Amino acid sequence: MILPIPDILTAEQVRLIRARLDNAGDAWVDGRATAGWQGAPVKRNQQIAEHSPIARELGDVIVGAIERHPLFISAVLPNQVYPPLFNRYEGGMTFGSHVDGAVRVLPNGVKLRTDVSATLFLSEPDEYDGGELVIEDTYGVQQVKLPAGHLIVYPATSLHQVTPVTRGARVASFFWVQSLVRSDTQRALLFDMDTAIQRLNATHADDQARRSLVGCYHNLLRLWSET
């Protein structure tokens, strides 16, 4: 499931994060520092050093925002979130077609399975040319370029790339999530069911039917959850 999630960050949060990143100086390093053997040959970008104070500070802001966003929770069913990272593309920088690594190691040494990949846009679309996130899935190829503060989530199993940035700078945050439900198909079914429940709640539909549907949702989550 490829899903855009609007307004993860407020305009003020975007402004403050961009100000910190735009003045980060030597905290920007070669993006290949966190690329695996598959990604390194095709990765040309800059990245905030993963364990730098600014990465931790701004990452905490983003984690706090996604934890409060009901659409993100419903769609992703997060169990663990890898601390958000930050990248920048300019002057023809690009990231060729690749699949994200299956497992990453958290700062505390715990291993995290990457079920869901996420990109949070921190530049407005008119600030740069190129830089589309191109995702290939079973329904074809999708090109994504969202307003600042908006997030795209997609299966980490997807082949994806960032096209060359030919004008301006594309600044974003990216991270991975280990979901309570490993299967993308099962997560999509639960998301559709939860969305239907919310609509029924809003229309005050038959109370008994709603309770039954909520019960089915939680019983499926109980069946499929890996925690």
Judge if 26 and 131 occupy the same domain: yes
Indicate whether 173 and 210 sit together in one domain: no
Q: At what angle do helices 207-224 and 184-202 cross, to 10 degrees?
A: 160
**Rounded Cα distance, 119 and 172, in Å:** 7
Split into its structural domains, the chain has a count of: 2
CATH code (residue 71): 2.60.120.620
Residues lower than pLDDT 70 in the chain: 34-40
Q: Residues 108, 191: one domain?
A: no
The pLDDT value recorded for residue 72 is 98
Together in a domain, 123 and 174: yes
Instruction: Please report the pLDDT score of residue 227 as a whole number.
Output: 73
The reply to whether 76 and 115 lie within a common domain is yes
Same-domain status, 209 and 116: no
- 213 C-beta neighbours (distance < 10 Å), count: 17
Q: Are residues 127 and 216 in the same domain?
A: no
Q: pLDDT value at position 101?
A: 93
- For residue range 117-156, list pLDDT tens digits in order: 999 999 999 999 999 999 998 878 999 999 999 999 999 9
Specify whether 137 is located in the same domain as 208.
no
pLDDT of residue 205: 81
Q: Indicate the SS3 state at residue 198.
A: helix
Query: Do 81 and 33 reside in the same domain of the chain?
Result: yes
Domain that holds residue 209: 184-224
pLDDT at 134: 98
8 Å CB contact between 177 and 1: no
**Average predicted confidence (pLDDT) for the chain:** 94
